[in-house]
Structure formats: C-alpha cells, structure tokens
Amino acid sequence: MNFVTLRARREAVEKTVMTARAANARRFGVGFNSLLARWTLDKKMPELTLLADKLGVRNYIKRLIPELAIPKVLMCASSRGELLLAGLPEKYVLKPSNNSGRYLIVTGGQAVQNHAREPIEIGAIEETAMSWLRESHSRRYGELWYDDIEPRIFAEEYIPVQYELAIHCLRGTAFLVQYITRGTSHTSTTHTVNWDVLGIRNTPHDMLETRAVRPKHLDEMIRIAEKATAGLPYVRFDLLVTPEHKFYFGEYTFAPLACRTTYEPLAFDVLMRRMLETGVVDFTALDAFVVRRITKLWNQKSLRAMRAVGAHITLDALRAKGVTAKFSTPYGTNSRFPVDTRQS
C-alpha cells in the first residue's frame, strides 16, 4: 500500500471522526444538559457552595428538615496528622467535603471505593484520603462552587444502603425519580413521581423496561425533596434507603455527571430542556410520554415488558388535559394499564 493510499485512508477516518463529533455536538446542543451546563458550569455560584459542602450542608438540613435522618459524623480531618482512623468503628464510610463521587466503604477489614465498589488495600486508605485533599473537583469538571469549600476528610457511620433515590426537582417541584443500585450490579431506573417507568437512558447503567418496586415511603421522600429544593432552578436531591425502609440524607447534586450526557430518546431530552427553560414541570407531557411508550410495547406484543413497566395513568384523564394522540390499547379508554402495587 503506497503513501497516497495511506494518507487518503487517514484523511477519510479523520473526516468520519470529525463528522461524528459535530453530530454529537449538535445533538447535545438541543438537550437538557447543554442548557444546564451553560447556566451552571464554569461559574462561581456562592449560593450552591453551602449545599455542595458534604459537611457544612448537614447543619442546614437539620434546621430545615429536622425529621430527615443524617448519617453521624465520626471524625473530621484537614491534614494527615488529624486523620485518626484507629479509633473508628469496624464499619464506616470515608468522604471528602469538597468533592463528589469519592468515598471509601470500610467493613470488617475490607474496603471498596467509589460507585463501582472497587477493592482497595486497607493500608492504602490513608494515602487515598490524602489524595482527595489535593484534588480539585471544580477544575476537573467545571463545578466552581466546590472551590470555596474547605477541603476536609470525614468519616461517617456506615449505613447499609439497599438503594439510592435521586429525586430531580425544578424550583421545588419533583418530576423524576431515579432508583439506583451501586456496586457490581449498578443499575438505574427512572420513574415519574407516580412511579411509572419512563424508559429513558442517561447513563450506560439505565434499565429501560424494568420497574423497581415502589419505595414504601415514596410520597414522604418526595415531600422532603421538594421542601429541600424550593427556590432552586434545578437540583437532584439524593436519599439513601436501607432494607428496613429507613431513609437518610445523601447530598445535593447540581450538575449530574458534570452535564456530559444526553437523555435518550431525543424527544425526552427536548422536553427536559423546555421544562428547565420555563421552570415549570409539564406533567401532562410526561404522562403522555409514558402512555405512548406502553402503547408501543402493546402494539409490539411485548406483554412481558408491559407488565414490567406498569402504569397508573388513565387515558381519559390525559385527554381531559389536552393530550390528543390516539392510543390503541386492549383495555379501552376508561381502563388503567396493569400495575403491580406491591411495596417493598
């Protein structure tokens, strides 16, 4: 193969890559995270600093929502000399105050780190914690509200978390609820506040057709999230839930995944962007999105997927709200789709 042929192939590959990048940029530019990034990233936002401080936010939550449980702080350190791990319980969690997604879970002489639950040597815990103090989350991801948070390492009590509930809110109104499991079986399923699966994808871990069991205290958790996020343009309010259904405060998240992803399908991403622009949750559009998806599954004779998704939506109620799309279902216009109402 001569030089001209190699050069032509290289140029063809480069052109393909550039075309793909341009297409991705155009796709990203019409969606939710493009607007959220423009509003939040690479900007100093002092009003977010307190809420993003993993230590400082606790007193704020205690005053605002005293009934919400918060994991107890066992130790706090600003330097290696203050990092006293020997006196901690057999099980604890280690975190930095000025970072997101960094933590160590120590249980019985073993330790894992971060969302993927990667094993780490017990002897490396101290050095890992010290490396957090040297990191700049804001420089890496553009979330500049972390800049003014005092870098500290703290240990908190170990909570046996069964799943996390991430409640997305616009100006204090909840509209999406993510059911997230961590570790080797990391999955995420996105529901409406009525616990209907939306079948959308935002990360590689998203499950499209499986509806998680409705949390026992879902309504109470949504009420708390809306109180905690009142007045904020957009925030994801994270809660930790145990097998006994007790839930704890997790954190405020203002730029999930650093605004680097898109929601799929495109129609949902555009809907999310429109709601962010207006500051108003369009529940009718969200409900219609669920119904269209379930109708599609029925038309494809995907009965198993329909049962997994479930729905609480009455079609006549949607039409009364102005949804004019025609839906062909086996249950008629006055019926509800089958739903498993069992709680965990």
Q: Where are the beta strands (DSSP E) in 182-246?
A: 187-191, 235-241
Say if residue 209 is in the same domain as residue 93: no
Among candidate residues 73, 77, 95, 87, the one with its CA nearest the CA of residue 157: 73
* 187 close to 205: Cβ distance less than 8 angstroms: yes
Give how far Cα 191 sits from Cα of 59, 159, 236, 282, 315, Å: 30, 25, 14, 15, 18
Say if residue 178 is in the same domain as residue 140: no
Say if residue 218 is in the same domain as residue 134: no
Q: Report pLDDT for 290.
A: 80
Say if residue 140 is in the same domain as residue 222: no
Residue whose tokens read 């399908």: 265
Q: Could you tell me if residue 41 is inside a domain?
A: no
Say if residue 174 is in the same domain as residue 132: no
Domain-terminating residue out of 118, 133, 157 = 157
* 192 close to 202: Cβ distance less than 8 angstroms: no
Q: Report pLDDT for 209.
A: 56
Q: Report pLDDT for 6.
A: 47
Q: Could you tell me if residue 188 is inside a domain?
A: yes
Among candidate residues 140, 137, 147, the one with its CA nearest the CA of residue 48: 147
Q: Could you tell me if residue 28 is inside a domain?
A: no
Domain-terminating residue out of 157, 186, 207 = 157
Say if residue 142 is in the same domain as residue 190: no
Say if residue 172 is in the same domain as residue 153: no
Strand order in the sheet with 187-191: 187-191, 173-181, 163-170, 235-241, 247-253
Say if residue 166 is in the same domain as residue 314: yes
C-alpha–C-alpha distance, residues 13 and 20, integer Å: 11
Domain with 166, as residue range(s), is: 162-320
What is the tally of structural domains in the chain? Answer: 2
How many other β-carbons are positioned within 10 Å of the β-carbon of residue 241? 24
Token pair for 263: 């929601």
Q: One digit per residue, pLDDT tens: the chain, 344 residues? A: 444 444 544 454 444 444 444 557 788 888 999 999 988 887 778 889 999 999 999 999 999 999 999 999 999 999 988 888 888 999 999 999 998 888 999 887 788 887 777 888 878 888 988 998 888 887 788 888 888 899 999 999 999 999 999 999 999 999 999 999 876 667 888 999 998 888 788 876 666 556 678 999 999 999 999 999 999 999 999 999 999 999 999 999 999 988 888 898 888 999 999 999 999 999 988 988 887 776 766 566 555 555 555 544 444 444 554 444 443 333 333 333 333 333 33
Q: Could you tell me if residue 38 is inside a domain?
A: no
